[in-house]
Amino acid sequence: MAERIFIGVAWPYANGPLHLGHLAGSYLPADIFARYHRIIGNHVLMVSGSDQHGTPITLRAEDEGVEPKEIVERFHASFLDTWEKMGIDFDLFTTTGTRNHTETVQQVFLSLLEQGYIYKDTMLLPYSDQEKRFLPDRYVEGICPHCGHKKARGDQCDQCGKTLNPIDLIEPRGKRDGSKLEFRESEHFFLKLTSFEHSLLDWIKRQEHWRPNVLNFSRRFIEDGLKDRAITRDIEWGIPI
């Protein structure tokens, strides 16, 4: 009997062209997996799309002096051209800019809010006196407190892989102009990840078909302890709530 196979592939930020690492890491393996299941007669749905929101897009738009919409339209078209040239066959390659995506995100947000998994709180965020605004995490660089990498981002260190907040960085500075920053309180919505820690760990332990290295990495990640994360930003480019 034919199985239904859903393949959810990573959504690339629409802030630059795809490179070989993107293809080898995410899209080629997914395409091979999809082709295999189609050949043996399973019903496959392989889905992805351009992530058109977030600070990587606004950063590039500000650097080029254009609106974010121009950036995302340019690189979404580039992605579609790449898939065609590489022969990678998505059943749906959409964007986060559709009405359906906006409405779905808002519905999920309200559902989680009503169940108590989203809450309001204040946090200390980097403020640029030079730009007269709060800076989102990707607009901030500094020294990683874990490995000492000098260009860790305000959300993650690419060298050691640790998740960060801007306030965790040593000597934080503005990414665009290198200016010193001060930290001020700002109110945001947080996702209560701590509520899912035990259920996620129980589910991971039951995945006997996973490779040992994937299973061990995932277990350690959860066992180290999840932290509630802010899911809103002090920017206008995104899904309104």
- Taking the chain (241 residues) in runs of 10, the rounded mean pLDDT of each run is 95 94 94 97 98 90 94 97 96 96 97 97 92 89 95 92 90 90 94 96 93 94 92 89 87
pLDDT value at residue 120:
96
- Give the residue extent of every domain in the chain: 4-97, 104-230
Query: What are phi and psi for residue 62, nearest 5 degrees?
Result: -65, -40
Tokens representing 152 are 């860790």
Residue pointed to by tokens 């030079």: 130
CA distance 113 to 241: 11
CATH topology of domain 4-97: Rossmann fold (3.40.50)
Q: By C-alpha distance, which of 154, 232, 233, 222 is closest to 194?
A: 222
For residue 218, the Cα-to-chain-centroid distance in whole angstroms is: 17
Q: Does domain 104-230 sit in CATH 2.40.110.10?
A: no
Distant-in-sequence, close-in-space partners of 168: CB < 8 Å, separation ≥ 6 = 145
Alpha carbon distance 49, 192 (integer Å): 26
pTM: 0.82
Give the per-residue pLDDT at 211: 92
